[in-house]
Amino acid sequence: MTGYTKALDWRVSVSEEMGDAADDDRRRVVAGVYAESGPRLYRYALMILADRQDAEDVLHQVFAAVLTKRTLPPFDDEGAYFRTAVRNAAYSLLRKRRTARDAAELMLEPIGPGCSPAEQAALEQALRALPPEQREVVHLHVYEGMTFQEVASATAESINTVAARYRYALDKMRKMM
Amino acid sequence: MQDPEIENLLRRYRPLPPGEHLSGAIANSPGHQIAKSRKTWPWAIAAAALLTITLGLHGAVVPAPDASLAAETRRVAAIVEELGGAPGSDVMAEWIAQRERRAEQDARAERWTAVEMVHQ
C-alpha cells in the first residue's frame, strides 16, 4: 500500500474517531507520504519558483489541502496528482507574487566532483534568468529524467511547446555562460 | 558551449532539498484543521437557527384548537342529560345547541349595531 492510499484510509478513520489515536495515525501517515514524495516535489517547486521559502509554502499548502480533504476524485497515479497540485500552487503563487526574490539565495547543490563556487554561481544566475516555464521543463527533463512527451503530459502542453521551451532555455543559458 | 556540455553542467548539480523543519511543519499542521474544523460550526449554527425559525413560523401560522367546539360539545351533553338521555335526544340536543349559538350570535350582532348607532 502506498503512502497516499494509507492517507486516504487514515482520513476516513479520522472523520470517525477524531481522537488522540487518530491524531497519532495522522502524524505517522503524513510523515510517510512526505518521506516518499516530499523532497522530489520540493525540488520541483523550487525550480519553478526559484525561492526556497516560497517552495516550502507551496508544499505546506499542498499537503495540508490534500490531507484535510474528506473526499477526493479517483486518480490512478498519485505521483502525478501531487506533481500537478504542486505545479498549480506554484504558478498560483507566481501570479500573486509582487516582490522580486533574493538572487543571492542558493537554489542548487553540487553532487559530483569538479564543481566550483564560480561555476555554480554562473549556473544559478543563468537558471534564474529563465522564465519559470522554461526552468520547469529543464527540471523535469534533466533532473527527473522525463522525456519531452512525459513533460508534455505533466504540464498539459504540446510536445512542440515543451521542446521549444527546452531549446530556448539552453540557448539562453549558453549565451549567459 | 554546446547543448551536451550545458546538460552535463546541469547534472553536476541539483536543486537543494527541503529544510528538515518542513517535514515537522507539514506533519503537524493538517490535523488541527481536521480535528478542530472551523467550517463545521457555522453550518451547525445556521441549521439550528433555520430550525428555530421554521418551528416559530409553524406555531404562528397553524391555528390553535377551537375552544368553542369543546364548549358546544359540553353544552350538547348537558342538554341530552336534561332531556333524560332518551333515544334521539342527542339529535334534539344538537339542534337546541345550534339554536342557542345562533341566538347568541344574533344578540351580539344587535349589540354591535346599537353601539355603532350611538356613536353615529
Chain A contact set for B15 (CB, 8 A): 42-44, 46-47, 107-109, 139, 143
Tell me which of B43, B61, B79 is where a domain ends: B61
Query: Are residue B114 and residue B73 in the same domain, yes or no?
Result: yes
- Measured CB to CB, residues of chain B less than 8 Å from chain A are 1-3, 6-7, 9-19, 22-23, 25-31, 33-35
Question: Is residue B10 in some structural domain?
Answer: no
CA distance B38 to chain A (A): 12
Is B101 within a domain? yes
Same domain? For B73 and B49 the reply is: no
Count up the domains in chain B and report the number: 2
Q: Strand pairing partners for A109?
A: B14
Convert B22-59 to b/e letters by CB count within 10 Å (16 or more is b): bbebbbebbbeebeeeeeeeeeeeeeeeeeeeeeeeee
Residues B76 and B32 in one domain: no
Query: Is A102 within 8 Å of chain B by CB?
Result: no
Mutation target for A interface from B8, B13, B20: give the one with most A CBs within 10 A: B13
Number of cross-chain residue pairs from A and B with Cβ atoms under 8 Å apart: 117
Q: B49 in a domain, yes or no? A: yes
DSSP calls for B39-88: SHHHHHHHHHHHHHHHHHHHHHHSPPPPHHHHHHHHHHHHHHHHTTS-TT
Is the entire prediction scored with pTM above 0.80?
Answer: no
Nearest CA in chain A to B17: A39
Which structural domain range is residue B50 located in? 20-61
A127 phi, psi to nearest 5 deg: -65, -40
What distance, in Å, lies between the first and last C-alpha atoms of chain A? 46
Q: Which of A134, A125, A128, A131 is nearest to A164 (CA)?
A: A134
Where are chain A's structural domains?
A: 1-99, 115-177
Write out pLDDT tens, residues A72-112: 555 566 678 889 989 999 999 999 886 766 666 889 999 98
Q: B76 and B96 in one domain?
A: yes
Is the dihedral angle over the CA atoms A157, A161, A167, A171 positive or is it negative?
Answer: negative
Q: Which three cell numbers stand for residue B116?
A: 355603532
Distance CA A92, CA A81 (A): 16
Q: Does domain A115-177 have CATH number 1.10.238.10?
A: no
Indicate if B57 and B73 belong to the same structural domain: no
Predicted confidence (pLDDT) per residue in A114-168, tens digit: 888 899 999 999 999 999 999 999 999 999 999 999 999 999 999 999 999 999 9
ipTM greater than cut 0.90: no
